[in-house]
Amino acid sequence: MLRSLAVAFVVFGYTFNLVQAQVAQEVPAATKDSATQLEKCELGHATPVHRFGKVYLAGQPTEEDLLELKADGMRTIINLRPDKELPWNEGAAVKRAGMKYVHVPFRGEEQLTSTVFDQVLGALRDEESGTTLLHCGSANRVGAIWYAHRVLDDELDPVTAELEAKQVGLRDAAYLEKAKEYVETQNRKKQPAVVNE
């Protein structure tokens, strides 16, 4: 399927991003748990929204959405937006609704540091988080985090992880590069040191 799309790209002049979007929607992800797939869904007023097992990936929910999310079993909200991007206090609203709030804000690739990745991936790995919503304004930032999570935690191949990240909402090439750098650094740390004799 991938080759036929690549040929269509050359013959019909489709842009590379369109080809990637088509592939991302048609290629099922191979993961440790092959029954779990990334799927588009609805979640209040947030858009776009995708679900992967117990993790929802989305743009900004409304304050009213948070109450509905709690009623539907959501336990943790991970917000990647700085406070100044919102005209209301999301942290207070999440806590009033009785959910756990994890706030790891960043705006721009210079703020997307290894500390941000470490904190968000740690929250996603936490079994006590239960059903979790990971969001930013439009899922662009979410896509970068999702790429790192899928490669490092789910051992998904980087090409498919990139397609998923773009399907989720990633549009910023600089965010993708930061995610790839983070993954590379983490993978280097896992490799045993070579001893010269």
What is 42-107 written as a DSSP string?
--TT-SSEEEETTEEEESPPPHHHHHHHHHTT--EEEE-S-GGG-SS-HHHHHHHTT-EEEE----
The boundaries of every CATH 3.90.190.10 domain in the chain are: 31-190
Residue pLDDT tens, the chain, 197 long: 333 333 333 333 333 333 333 333 444 444 444 558 999 999 999 999 999 999 999 999 999 999 899 999 999 999 999 999 999 999 999 999 999 999 999 999 999 999 999 999 999 999 999 999 999 999 999 999 999 999 999 999 999 999 999 999 999 999 999 999 999 999 999 887 666 66
Q: Given CATH 3.50.30.30, say whether it is the number of domain 31-190.
A: no
Q: List C-alpha distances in Å: 182 to 52, 82, 90, 124, 163.
A: 22, 21, 28, 16, 18
Total-model pTM = 0.81
How many residues appear in the chain? Answer: 197
